[in-house]
Chain A
Amino acid sequence: MKIGQLCIKISGRDAGKKCVVLTGVEKNNLVLVDGETRRRKCNIAHLEPLSKVLPFKENASHKEVVDLFKKELKITIKEKKSKPKKERPKRTRKQKVKPEPKKPKKEKKAKQKTASAEIKKKPKESVEKAPKPKK
């Protein structure tokens, strides 16, 4: 496999797409490919070499590959536009509001008792009835 060798991928989800070899054969028979396929390492056994060899440098960038594909092969490579990541709204725990300390009931009762005692102690005001006007 030469650098710049045009190939067709035979296996995987990119099968049937054209690509270019960008590196020499590494260990485990791997080469870097780019083109219509995704830019990734690929086993030689999964490539079917074609007769064309394109003028590429080793580890050429994706942009160079796209331009040469358009010039030489007239293949436009659509690039996936990834959406900008949105920050997820962070969940915040609801903070427990501490209830105000209740006043002890005994005091209340005691107060009530004292109040009732005072009422009892107070003599009833005698309301003098006004004499009825005689006709």
Chain B
Amino acid sequence: MVQGSRKSRTLRRAHRRTPGGKTVLCFKRRNPNSAKCSRCGAKLSGIPRKIPLKFKNIPKTKRNPARPYGGNLCSKCTRQVLIEKARSEEE
């Protein structure tokens, strides 16, 4: 009998060839959705779509943009936030 959890489509199906030559069905975790800007909701570039297990193994420089708010805000929103901050400081 097939395991109950294997019948649902929560896991991704991948065909893999074994060293013996057989093709076997593997069940893998799906990649998460792309990261989004917390201000405008636009897709963030520069952040790979990987499950946490694999995200951990990526070098630190490739996980997030190096600028402040990198990984949370898009580049346009960071500019606006920083400008607002600078102008409010002067006042």
Contact = CB atoms under 8 A, between A and B. Distances in A.
B82 A15 contact: yes
Interface residues of A, number: 10
Shortest beta-carbon contacts, A-B, top 9: A13-B66, A8-B86, A15-B67, A10-B79, A16-B68, A48-B86, A10-B82, A13-B67, A48-B83
Nearest to B79: A10
A11 B67 contact: yes
Interface of B: 66-68, 75, 78-79, 82-83, 85-87, 90
Prevailing SS type, chain B contact patch: helix
B82 A48 contact: yes
Contacts of A50: 86, 90
Contacts of A51: 90
A12 interface: yes
Contacts of A15: 67-68, 78, 82
